[in-house]
Amino acid sequence: MIITEILKKKRDGFELSEQEINFFIQGLSNFNVSDIQSAAFLMACCTKGLSKLEVKFLTLAMRDSGKKFDFSSIKKPKVDKHSTGGVGDKISLLITPILMSFDVAVPMISGRGLGHTGGTVDKLESIVGFNMSLNYEEYLRLLNSNGVFMARQTDDIAPADKKLYHIRDVTGTVESLGLITASILSKKLVEDLDALVIDMKVGNGAFMQDFDSARQLAQSMIDVASESGLKMRVIFTSMEQPLGYKIGNWLEIEETISALSGKSPKDIEEITFKLCEGMLLSANIFENQSIAQNKIKEVWESGRAYNNFLKMIKSQGGDLDLSIEKYKNYPQFTIYCEKSGYLQHIDTLYTGIVCIMIGAGRKDINDRIDYGAGIILHKKIGDKIEKGEKLASLIAKDKSLFSQAADLLKSCIIIGDDYLEAPKLILDEWII
């Protein structure tokens, strides 16, 4: 087989066979497929789509490009959560410390920023010393001591996804049902899970901007998960505005800390509780929603989740004091509101793009990100605002980036005369 022929076949809209997909994915691992060829493959997948069979073969080939873990020595239900990608989405950072207080194991393998969305790996790597590049012995040690680990993909874990993920990030090839399914599930199928909860983001800041495409993505993931024997629950949540008030890697760690210490924005708390509930019910820890909700609330309000967070960060080498010191004098640029009214709309996709412009995300594959960069929103949808009040602040090491970014950010936020309620957050739930 020849890679160019596979590319031409996909370009022309034909279905690839299992052998062709395996050949392509193995070529990635053997360095027989260049980044240029990968980019062409991804673009053809985006424009021509992938059939149900192609998605299954691609997911399994990507899963098998690395190792599969055996966590059978951990005698607790193993459950994980993955988001399809959002702006200000720091929920994994809040879920893991809550679940540390329950009898479950969470082997969490996360991703870097993708397209206009942020990634848990970049957020955690903003913490000085935090090590996400773990090996199997460290996974087991952390699962035994903490019940959780938060890791990034190494060359052992679905390395084909690792390569394609970086290329998708900078080639405009993220928004594909098949590619998203294969990317998420190839990682999750190596984790030896009993259950998986997907936070399916829907709205103007998500890869799936409307409910129909979100349902199709959910169905695509369910098809592959069911064939692989993975129990899955999909919770559809709104991405019509960023989650919380802070967007950017270190800024989201800051907001996580304040949320865990009793000052949580309502949206963050609502989604965190819902996803924890889904994970605990999927793992059969509680009989019903209301018991699960009460127990989660108890852990959250007692400060145990906060202490667990500190323990988790320390166990993986992170130093929060040094991090606070590192980011404390970052330059800021504040945008003030030009008219009084109500905040009615936030273009969440472009808010994510503003973050990339000021260095919080990557424009190209080898870009180094500015971990301290990001946006603080002072108001959210439904808030009343007066002329001259603070609307949003930009934070970045390089002040020269502020002016253009501020213009774009201003155009993302609409203030009008009429009050509009914030969009409903939890939209639906599918239990399979």
**Among the options 64, 161, 199, 347, which is catalytic?**
161
Nearest to 249 by CA among 406, 355, 132, 322: 355
Which of residues 78 and 116 has its CB atom nearest to ligand URA in the complex? 116
Structural contact between residues 338 and 409, judged by C-beta atoms closer than 8 angstroms: no
Question: Does the active-site annotation cover 161?
Answer: yes
Instruction: Name the DSSP letter for residue 369.
Output: P
Q: Is 221 in the site for ligand URA (CB under 6 A)?
A: no
Give the angle subtended at the CA of 60 by the CAs of 55 and 61, to the nearest 5°: 100
Nearer to ligand URA, 111 or 278 (CB): 111
How many residues of this chain bind ligand URA (CB under 6 A)? 7
Tell me which stretch binds ligand URA (CB under 6 A): 24-32, 177-185, 341-349, 362-370.
177-185
Locate tokens 């990635």: which residue?
A: 28
Task: Decide if 183 is catalytic.
Answer: yes
Q: Which residues contact 19 (CB under 8 A, 6 or more apart)?
A: 1
Our finding on whether 50 is near ligand URA (CB under 6 A) is no
Residue 404's CB is within 10 A of a number of other CB atoms, namely: 12
Considering only the stretches 7-15, 38-46, 180-188, 194-202, report the one whose residues sit in contact with ligand URA under the rule CB under 6 A. Answer: 180-188
Q: How far is the CB of 100 from ligand URA (least distance, A)?
A: 23
Residues with Cβ within 8 Å of residue 360, at least 6 apart in sequence: 113, 118, 247, 248, 249, 369, 370, 371, 373, 374, 396
Rule CB under 6 A: which of 69-128 touch ligand URA? 84-85, 111, 114
Which of the residues 63, 82, 116, 166 is marked catalytic? 82
The answer to whether 345 is a known catalytic residue is no
- Closest approach of Cβ 49 to ligand URA, in Å? 15
Q: Which residues pair with 384 in a beta bridge?
A: 342
Helix ranges (H only) for 246-378 are 249-260, 266-282, 289-301, 304-315, 320-327, 348-357
With CA atoms as reference, report the closest residue to 45 among 69, 18, 10.
10
| Pick from 299, 253, 255, 254: nearest CA to 273 | 299
Stretch that binds ligand URA, among 178-186, 193-201, 242-250, 312-320 (CB under 6 A): 178-186
Among 58, 180, 232, 313, binds ligand URA (CB under 6 A): 180
Check residue 183 for interaction with ligand URA (CB under 6 A): yes
187 carries an active-site annotation:
yes
The residue (of 183 and 264) whose beta carbon lies closer to ligand URA is: 183
Residue 184 touching ligand URA (CB under 6 A): yes
Choose, from 123, 168, 188, 201, the residue flagged as catalytic: 168
Kindly list the catalytic residues: 82, 161, 168, 183, 187
Residues that bind ligand URA (CB under 6 A): 84-85, 111, 114, 180, 183-184
